[in-house]
Structures are given as structure tokens and as C-alpha cells.
Amino acid sequence: MLLDIFDPKAPPKAVGIDLGTTHSSVAVMRDGRPVALTTCDGTPLLPSVVHYGAHGTVQVGRTAKAYAEREPARTIASAKRFVGRGAKDEQTALLGSYRFAEGADERVVRFDVGREAPVTPVEVSAEILKSLRQSAIDQLGTLGGAVITVPAYFDDAQRQATKDAAKLAGLEVLRLLNEPTAAALAYGLERQNSGVFAVYDLGGGTFDITILLLEDGIFQVKSTGGDSALGGDDMDRALAERLLRAMGLEDPAARTPELIALALGAAREAKHRLSLAEQVTVSVPRRGGGEAELTLGRQDFEAMIRPLLERTGRACKRALRDAGLSAEQLDGVILVGGSTRAPSVQRYVQELFGREPLVELDPDLVVAYGAAAQADLLARASDEVLLLDVLPLSLGVETMGGGVDRVLPRNTTIPAGARSTFTTYADHQTGFELHVVQGERELASDCRSLARFTLRGIPPMPAGMARLEVSFDVNESGLLTVRARETTTGLEQQIEVQPSYGLTDEQVEDMLLDALDHGEEDLERRRLADARVEGARMVLATEKALAADADLLSDEERRGVEQALAGLRAAAAQATRPGVVQAAIDVLDQRTHAWAGRRMDRAIAGAIAGKQLGDVEGSVAHAAGVEAHLEAHQRGRN
């Protein structure tokens, strides 16, 4: 019998945790190699299932899973798929046979588990993490921090929810690490390879594809993509739908939570058996009595899940294009996630990339192995390996007119920071409203809104004189902090972007595709919006100039300026093409050009009247600067 001997003076061990949709695991580094710890089930893999008993008990893992068919409403599986999702999202009801409780915030899922208070996905995840934490303490004696993995395509809300779950479980989070990067780290340490690799991660509920460069101890993500609502669970549901029809339950209204859970359980078992056998027979109860037997062939199952695999293929091709690579330029393809055990998945990946994938490490544990390696490095403050993740989507702010100024473009290596400077649009403006958005479209209305906040208390100044410096900082866990500072006054405000709900299935899958599909259309709309803003600026500046210096115009010149003003107003209001607005701007610019020179002469003459030479130099410079700014503002070139 072997016993672990704990040294009470030894520093607490840091661990890596793979908080998975279907299974979770915890690993630690021993003698330079990652080792999976035994969970409460006595195995390295803990089913990510939590059962809430009628008398206040909470059970996790295999024991909880046993209740799934008997008490499906009290037994929550795949809670990770609900993180950051609203209760009224169209896809929410399809993710499991649960009762959802109403709450003040409809953007948060609440499971009715038959208790006085419902539970959220964060609380369910916390129970799983508590179990893993206790298992680690039982085997290590003491526990330091933890590196917890998340899908690369988790947004800020989902990442923050994961950190909240860890906090509820009593864990110190050293870092959130993207799952594909963790897998590549495990393979890099094992194989000591350099090169460009694709990490194809198809788990129970999420899919990620990452193109990663391994070179000289640096793991750099070149591009990333995926779908946070695609995985083995979808394969189970496709097969369960076939079983439900065989049970005589074609009408969804006739499907109780217990019957759905029964069909899903039979589907999972059949899926696993088809990984080893060419054909299986499944027996399920028939509506009205008796049993129905359904014979399923591996080819039938592969045809059933082919559309799901093709969805992963589209994301893979997009990731390769973003990295500027072809499949032939890859040095290898790493498989991650239990769903990649299916022969059909492995064949599809080989067909997609034109090479046999790497499967040396257990796809169910490789993510935990990489997380353990990173946790060990962080605990030792080592710089042996540098991980460079990237932003999956661009971050920016809405500009006047509805366009987007991208402060941090997608695929920027993180941690990262960037600044951008903005100015006021109107005279005497005393505040800035900042709208932070995420996405690839040209207009803010087509992107995802992350946060809004206002910086107030700015002294009234002429338009364009105030300067707002906006800073974006993304930490190593992918969480965003936005700071806004008015440079002349020093007024400052900051916000940590923690949106309260995540992306829908369609947004996750389609945001990048939409940007590609609507690229030319978006650019035209953006140009039109910008032209209208410039036109409005020029109209405002010209109206102010007419109020102050109309006497410098002849009657004919004034009529020409007023006609051009009317033309620009009409173009800005009615035109559907930016060229029409720009043409009207050019007409007004031409008709005010000579007048602008006369106004500058008047300003300089007024500045030097009755003053000494030393004062004149400064005043002239100031007057010239004001007029130059006005003219630039009028011409739409500031």
C-alpha cells in the first residue's frame, strides 16, 4: 500500500482545473509531469452533474447522474452551457429538461430545483468546483491557487461567471486559461516541439479551434474561433430526437422531462457503443405500453451528426484564414475533448486538415494537464513558458454617427492595452457618453453592446477643444477594463466590463460570418454615417460664421453659401450614398474658401490692434490657431 506523506512546511500546491460541460477534472504537477487527481467518484473524470435533494442535500458526479432519469428537474447537467444565457433565449429551453424560475433579471437562467430558492448556473458550477477542491485537498494536504480553463470563445460575462463560481467554491483563481491553449501547452511540454498547430477542441457543450505557434518557449495564439453552443450534447440530442419518435412522442407537448431524460441517456449510451461497434440496438419504452427497438448503424449516426461537424469545419477554415495559413502549412492537429473519440470525428478532422490528428494524450484530460502545468509555472513565478492568447472579437467604442472605432482589433495578443483619443462634437458640451461594443461590423448597432457610461463635469468649451483619452486594458484572463480621462481637466472614470448576459448561439456562430457577408454593405453604411456627421459639423460651423461675419460676404456670395448650405442639409438628410453627401460638402467648401481667408485676416487684425510687439506674437499665434481649427473643422478634416 502506498501512502502520500505531506510536508507541513511545503508550500501549497497550485492545481489546474478543467471545468468541462460533460466532465471536469483536476490535475497537479509531480516530478515535472502533470498527473490527474482522483475525484470523489474514484476516477480522474467527474461528471459535471449536480443533484439537489429534497432535504437540502447536494450531490455531485456519478451519484448525481444516477438521479437524472428519476428526478431530471432536480438534477442539473451541462450547466456550463447556460452560463451567461438568458432564461428567454430561444435556445435555452432546448438545452435540457429543466424547470426555469422567474426572476427580476430575465437575462440570468434560474433553475427551479424544488427548493425555496432557485439556483443559477454559477451556483451549479460552484458545487462542481467545491468537489474538485476537496478532492485536491484530500490528496495534497494543502491547496494553493488554481488555473481554471474556459472555452476560447467565452465572452466577458461567461469568464466573469466562471470566476464567480470559483470564488463561491473557495478557490483562488490564478488565471483563466483558454482550453485549446492549455491542451497545446500540455503537448508542447510533452513533445518539446516547435511549429504551428491547430487545436480542435470538441467537448460536450462547446467547440473551439485555435491556431497556435510553438516556438522557443513561447506559445502564441495566431487566431481562434469556435462555437460556445456546439458539442457532444448536440449529437446526443440529434440521436435522442430519433429515439423519441420511435417511442411515439412526435408531438413535443407529449414529452415530459422524465421521458426526455430517458431518451438522452439512451442516446449517450448508444453513441459510446457506436464508437466501438458498427451497429447497436436500443430498446426504449413505447407510448401506450410495450417497448420499441431501434437498430442504429454507425453510418446512420455519422450522417446524423455530419451537419454539426461541418459547422466546426467552417470555423476551422475561418481560423486558418485569419492566421494567414493553409492546412498544408500546419505541423500538426491536436484533438481535445471527449467527443473527438468518435471515429467519425477523427476521420472528418483528417479530411478537413489533410493529416492524421495527434491523439497521444487522453483528450479528456489533456486540458487539465495543461492547466496544471500553467498553474505550476505561475505558482513558481517562472517564465519558462510564455502563453500569448488573443482576443476572439474586436473591442471598440461607438463614434458620432453610429460607427465603431476599434481600439483593440480581434486576434490582438493578450494581455493588451490600447488608447484612443476623441473630442467633442458640439459647443459647450459638458459630458461624454461612452458606448463600449464588441464585434466586427462597421456600425455599433450591428455589434454587441458591452457597457455604457458617462464622464460628466467637463468645463464648457468650443467644439473640438476637449480631449477624451479612452484606454482599453484586457488582462490575461480576457476581462476588459475601460478608462476614460478628459486630458485638460484630469477628470477620470473607469468601468470593468462584466455584461450580465452572454452571446446567443446565433451571435457566437454568426458574428464573424456577418462581418464577411456584409463587409461591403457595412463599409458603405459607415461611410454614409461618417459623411453625414462631417456634413452636420460643416453646417454648424458655417451657420456660426454667418452669425459672426456675414458682412464679409457680398450679396451674391451669401446667396451661394446659403444655397450650398441648403443642399448639404438635404443631402445629409436624404442621401443613401456617401458620395452624394461628400459632393455637397465640397460645394460648400468651395463657396466658403475665400470667405474663410477674410475671416482669418479680421481675426489677426483684431488680435494685434493696440498691443505691444511681444503680446502680438502670442495673440496672433492664438488667433491663427483658432481660425485654422475653425477652417479645418468646417472642411471636415480635423
Q: Which residue has the cell 477628470?
A: 491
Q: How many CA atoms lie within 13 A of 104 on its CB side?
A: 0
Q: Which of 374-388, 391-405, 469-483, 502-516 has the lowest mean pLDDT?
A: 502-516
Q: Which fold has domain 13-230+307-388?
A: Nucleotidyltransferase; domain 5 (3.30.420)
Count other C-beta atoms under 10 Å from residue 540's C-beta: 16
**Tell me: domain 395-508, CATH 2.60.34.10, correct?**
yes
Distance CA 282, CA 269 (A): 9
Position 260 scores a pLDDT of: 82
Residue 428 identity? H
Contact (CB, 8 A) for 474 and 82: no
More confident residue, 537 or 113: 113
- Cα distance from N-terminal residue to C-terminal residue, the chain: 78
Element (H, E) at 322: helix 298-323
DSSP 419: E
Cβ-proximal residues to 13 (8 Å cutoff; 6+ apart), any chain: 28, 136, 140, 142, 143, 144, 379
Contact (CB, 8 A) for 202 and 129: no
Residue 139 identity? Q
Position 89 scores a pLDDT of: 58
Position 475 scores a pLDDT of: 77
Of the pLDDT bands very low, low, confident and very high (cuts 50, 70, 90), residue 614 is low
pLDDT above 90 for 95: no
CA 597 to each of CA 241, 424, 540: distance values in angstroms, whole numbers, following the listed order: 77, 25, 18
Cβ-proximal residues to 252 (8 Å cutoff; 6+ apart), any chain: none
Across residues 247-275, what is the average pLDDT? 81
Across residues 26-52, what is the average pLDDT? 92
Q: Torsions phi, psi of 207, nearest 5?
A: -125, 135
Q: Which of 164-173, 208-217, 329-338 has the lowest mean pLDDT?
A: 208-217
Position 504 scores a pLDDT of: 41
Position 88 scores a pLDDT of: 61
Instruction: Show me where the domains of the chain are located.
Output: 13-230+307-388, 232-306, 395-508, 518-608
Distance CA 236, CA 164 (A): 29
- Three-class SS of 149-189: EECCCCCHHHHHHHHHHHHHCCCCEEEEEEHHHHHHHHHHH
Contact (CB, 8 A) for 404 and 447: yes
Cβ-proximal residues to 450 (8 Å cutoff; 6+ apart), any chain: 156, 395, 436, 437, 438, 480, 497, 499
CA 630 to each of CA 459, 538, 600, 623: distance values in angstroms, whole numbers, following the listed order: 20, 10, 10, 10
Mean pLDDT of the chain: 78
Contact (CB, 8 A) for 248 and 287: yes
Across residues 299-305, what is the average pLDDT? 86
Distance CA 100, CA 118 (A): 8
pLDDT above 70 for 550: yes
Q: Which three cell numbers stand for residue 39?
A: 475525484
Which residues carry out catalysis? 18, 80, 179, 201
Position 1 scores a pLDDT of: 36
pLDDT above 80 for 513: no
What Rg value do the Cα atoms of the chain yield, rounded?
31
Across residues 211-229, what is the average pLDDT? 77
Contact (CB, 8 A) for 395 and 436: yes
Contact (CB, 8 A) for 390 and 412: yes
Position 637 scores a pLDDT of: 36
Q: Is the dihedral of CA 68, 71, 76, 82 positive or negative?
A: positive
Position 228 scores a pLDDT of: 67
Which of 54-58, 103-107, 198-202, 457-461: highest mean pLDDT? 198-202
Q: Which three cell numbers stand for residue 284?
A: 426504449
Of the pLDDT bands very low, low, confident and very high (cuts 50, 70, 90), residue 514 is low
pLDDT above 90 for 612: no
Distance CA 389, CA 387 (A): 6
Contact (CB, 8 A) for 396 and 407: yes
Q: Extract the runs of DSSP E, i.e. beta strands, from 53-181.
A: 58-60, 75-77, 143-150, 173-178
pLDDT digits (tens, 9 = 90+) for 50-63: 999 887 889 999 99
Distance CA 375, CA 361 (A): 19
Of the pLDDT bands very low, low, confident and very high (cuts 50, 70, 90), residue 316 is very high
- Three-class SS of 509-567: HHHHHHHHHCHHHHHHHHHHHHHHHHHHHHHHHHHHHHHHHHHHCCHHHHHHHHHHHHH
Q: Which three cell numbers stand for residue 492?
A: 477620470
| Complete DSSP assignment for 426-456 | STT--EEEEEEEESSSSBGGGSEEEEEEEEE
Residue of 467, 472, 470, 325 lying closest to 409 (CA atoms) = 472
Residue 101's SS3 state is: coil
pLDDT above 90 for 7: no
Which of 377-381, 508-512, 520-524, 609-613: highest mean pLDDT? 377-381
Q: What percent of the chain has pLDDT over 70?
A: 81
Position 78 scores a pLDDT of: 83
Q: Which fold has domain 518-608?
A: Substrate Binding Domain Of Dnak; Chain:A; Domain 2 (1.20.1270)
Of the pLDDT bands very low, low, confident and very high (cuts 50, 70, 90), residue 48 is very high
More confident residue, 627 or 304: 304
Q: Which three cell numbers stand for residue 226?
A: 469556435
Element (H, E) at 370: helix 366-379
Q: Which three cell numbers stand for residue 145?
A: 491557487
DSSP 100: B
Contact (CB, 8 A) for 110 and 101: yes
Residue of 62, 93, 94, 89 lying closest to 75 (CA atoms) = 62
Contact (CB, 8 A) for 543 and 565: yes
pLDDT digits (tens, 9 = 90+) for 392-409: 778 888 877 778 888 888
Contact (CB, 8 A) for 575 and 552: no
pLDDT above 60 for 517: no
Distance CA 504, CA 59 (A): 30
pLDDT above 60 for 495: yes
Position 43 scores a pLDDT of: 92
Which CATH number, 3.40.50.460, 3.40.50.2000, 2.30.30.110, 3.90.640.10, labels domain 232-306?
3.90.640.10
| Residues in the chain, overall count | 638
Distance CA 529, CA 542 (A): 20
Residue of 502, 41, 81 lying closest to 98 (CA atoms) = 81
Q: Which residue has the cell 424560475?
A: 101
Position 366 scores a pLDDT of: 92
